[in-house]
C-alpha cells in the first residue's frame, strides 16, 4: 500500500515538473497602447522582430519540453533518478508567454490602425476538406 502511494506521488511530481510545450503556454497581457501610436510600416517592423524572437524562444521551449519528456520516460521505465533531470518551465516559458502577449498587442494596434497585420496561429487546425 505504501509503495503504491509513494509511486503515485513520485509520478505526479515528475509529470508536474515537465516543461510545457510552446503551444500550451498562454499569452501574458501586454497593453496595445505601446503600439497604437506607431505607423503601419513601424508596426510591420515590430511584428517581424517579435515574430522572429517568438520562433526562437518557442524552439528553446520545445527542446526543454522534449528533453523533459525523455527524462520522465527514462525515469518511469528504466532508471528513476532520471526524473530529477526534468527541469520544468522557467525563463524560456516566461519569454514565450511575453512574446505571445506582444503579438496580440501588435495585432490589436494593427486592427485599430487598419494596418492588416495578422499573426498565423500555428496551433490552429486546418479546415477539413469535404
Enumerate the domain spans of the chain: 19-112
- Of the two residues 14 and 100, the one the predictor is more confident about is 100
pLDDT at 100: 92
Confidence label for 4 from pLDDT (cuts 50, 70 and 90): low
Mean pLDDT of the chain: 75
SS3 content of the chain, % helix, strand, coil (to 5): 65, 0, 35
**What's the pTM value of the predicted model, to 2 decimals?**
0.66
The residues, any chain, with a CB within 8 Å of residue 107's CB and separated by 6 or more, are 117, 118, 119
Amino acid at each position: 500500500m505504501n509503495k503504491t502511494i509513494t509511486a503515485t506521488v513520485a509520478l505526479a511530481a515528475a509529470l508536474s515538473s515537465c516543461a510545457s510545450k510552446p503551444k500550451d503556454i498562454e499569452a501574458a497581457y501586454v497593453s496595445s497602447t505601446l503600439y497604437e501610436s506607431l505607423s503601419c510600416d513601424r508596426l510591420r517592423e515590430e511584428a517581424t522582430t517579435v515574430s522572429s524572437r517568438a520562433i526562437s524562444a518557442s524552439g528553446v521551449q520545445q527542446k526543454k519540453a522534449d528533453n523533459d519528456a525523455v527524462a520522465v520516460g527514462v525515469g518511469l521505465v528504466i532508471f528513476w533518478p532520471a526524473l530529477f533531470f526534468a527541469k520544468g518551465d522557467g525563463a524560456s516559458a516566461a519569454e514565450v508567454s511575453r512574446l505571445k502577449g506582444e503579438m496580440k498587442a501588435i495585432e490589436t494596434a494593427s486592427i485599430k490602425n487598419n494596418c492588416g497585420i495578422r499573426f498565423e496561429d500555428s496551433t490552429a487546425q486546418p479546415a477539413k476538406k469535404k
